[in-house]
Structure 1
Amino acid sequence: HCQDSENAMQSLVCSADPSSSRLKQFLDDNAKNPYLKGVRQVLHNPEILPGHCRTSEFVKGVRELGRRGLLFDICIRPAELPDVVELCRQVPETTFILDHCGNPDPYIVNGERQPTPSSADSDFGHTREDWLAALQMLGRFENVICKISGIIARAEEGWSVTTLAPTVNACLDAFGEDRVIFGGDWPVCTLGASLSQWISVLREIIADRSQTAQEKLFHLNAGRLYRLD
């Protein structure tokens, strides 16, 4: 599909487990594929236990991605962000994309909802302070990029720009204008709004930032990171 000049898709990031024994063979088979830019794994699936990204085989696989010039998209439970901090510290040669702002609850981030003991123990449970602290630590790593995405899917009926702005601004401030990229997260975004609504509210949130910063978020940074011609 990427070869089709009429297709807007220019490259791909495939789903794969860095700890898999089949990873090296897959990478070898696609070593000359100019469209493959990286690997992504969703680590918040119920069958994947917390701490998986700290295993030696996982770390080895992520290091191999960097050696081959491939990015690693990591999508993880917010409570496990400290594990991502340690992973990024161990593998500075690999560029990481932190998906969905680290998967926070935007209502906890903006203070409208307080985490309860039961929610803190759930798969996506977290406190505002813990998420923000981990986010800021990740923002200090030059090899980590934050994808501004996902949070619109958690927006509930009656949401507004103030629902999402604190999360977006915290990410932009932690990573700076050169290490953030926009993600549509379609069709999952439609759990909370249409793709056009997500783009519109994000434009409203960043309206007071420079034109250059806005262009970097929406397309310039992605073009550089994914080496799009």
Structure 2
Amino acid sequence: MGQAICKENSMITMSRRRFLKRVSQIAVTGALVSPGRRTCLGSQAGLEAAGALPIVDTHQHLWDLSRIRLTWLRPPLDRSFTPKDYEQASAGLNIVQAVYMEVAVPVDQRQREAEYVLDLCRRGDTVTRAAVLAGSPADDDFMEYAAQYRDNPYVKGFRGSLPVKRMSDEQVIRNLRRLGELGLRFDINVPPSALAEAAQVVDRCPDTRFVLDHCGNADPVAFFPTGRTPPRPAQHPAEQWKRDIARLGAQSNIICKISGIVSRVPETPLPAEDLAPIVNHCLDAFGPDRVVFASDWPVCLRGMSLRDWVQRLQAVVAARPETARRKLFHDNAVRFYGLDAGNNQSG
């Protein structure tokens, strides 16, 4: 692929030294995104930069349709996605570990899903080293189910349906508090309209560690500049999402997964500058120590490949300090999930 060339009007007034410095930054990172400026993506250079940084993928989906059935699959996801497929999709990206994320199997197949992924973790012949299993704190038997995994080193937490109308139920709050007592985490995956209620839940369970999935499911269309024709109406107001994310980010017992946004607009693959407002707001709201990279593969294929998503995110964060980028892509995940930093396997 050819090298992309980006000419910015601001370069006209740059001194020679600043110009050369900027060119060297683009050569190293493959891209540079600053507020109010257009992205310059050098595809090969960007991929090389991504490969140089070890990555922990905190949101990896896998499914084998010969083992489980999934009722929600639609093209291009209506087939099996195996560890071998993931290995091929992530080749060259230096993904050294991955955390499996439950795939919304029917309740009667949760045990089968758990057995499959935990066997995968035990074998250790792929990058999948830990798992977040299916389970909803709104279910009567949630704690009985969760407790069986309290001493399993591979199980890091749970994710399951959390109806907005039940988020403040005493049973839900009680179960989430008990989950924290077991040292397990809970992933919150709700629409932007429910983020305020999610913040209340997090506040009421201060000793439980939470994960906000997919940047709070923000819609990139909501952040399109005035005058640009969107492919469809925005799914939520941008300012309300920003306020709710800021509120969640102010709570120390929740981290944010930088993920999911590329599949929100399947009509067209979004360039880095369309993703930057969401990513940057989350990074600033949660701070450098409470954000983690997540691929959401293969669901990300609704919008773009895993490789393209990594490149775009690298572009958005290229101007941030190297320590912050390393925390985002690797260090925070190792710490938060209690992964073995010496157990890295390049994928």
Question: Which 5+ residue runs of structure 1 have no aligned equivalent?
Answer: none
**TM-superposed deviation, 1:113:** 8.7
Whether the 8 Å CA contact 1:150–1:189 is kept in 2: the answer is yes
Q: Which amino acid aligns with 1:100?
A: H
Q: TM-score, normalised by structure 1?
A: 0.89
Higher relative contact order (CA 8 A, sep 6+): 2
Matches within 5 A, 1:19-168: 19-43=138-162, 48=163, 50-111=164-225, 125-155=235-265, 156-157=267-268, 159-168=270-279
Whether the 8 Å CA contact 1:110–1:166 is kept in 2: the answer is no
Cross-structure match for 2:293: 182
SS in 2 for 1:33: coil
Q: Which amino acid aligns with 1:21?
A: D
Q: 1:72 to 1:51 in 2, by over 3 A?
A: same
Q: Distance in 1 between matches of 2:227 and 2:187?
A: 28
Cross-structure match for 2:322: 211
Whether the 8 Å CA contact 1:132–1:170 is kept in 2: the answer is yes
Whether the 8 Å CA contact 2:262–2:269 is kept in 1: the answer is no
Aligned residues: 217
Whether the 8 Å CA contact 1:11–1:36 is kept in 2: the answer is yes
Q: 1:113 to 1:227 in 2, by over 3 A?
A: farther
Q: Does 1:222 align with 2:333?
A: yes
Q: 1:16 to 1:113 in 2, by over 3 A?
A: farther
SS in 1 for 2:297: coil
Identity within the alignment, %: 40
Question: Which protein is bigger by CA-based radius of gyration?
Answer: 2
Question: Which 5+ residue runs of structure 2 have no aligned equivalent?
Answer: 1-119, 341-347
Q: Which amino acid aligns with 1:37?
A: K
Cross-structure match for 1:17: 136
Q: Distance in 2 between matches of 1:59 and 1:102?
A: 20
Whether the 8 Å CA contact 2:137–2:143 is kept in 1: the answer is no
Out of 301, 309, 315, the residue aligned to residue 198 of structure 1 is: 309
Q: Which amino acid aligns with 2:153?
A: P
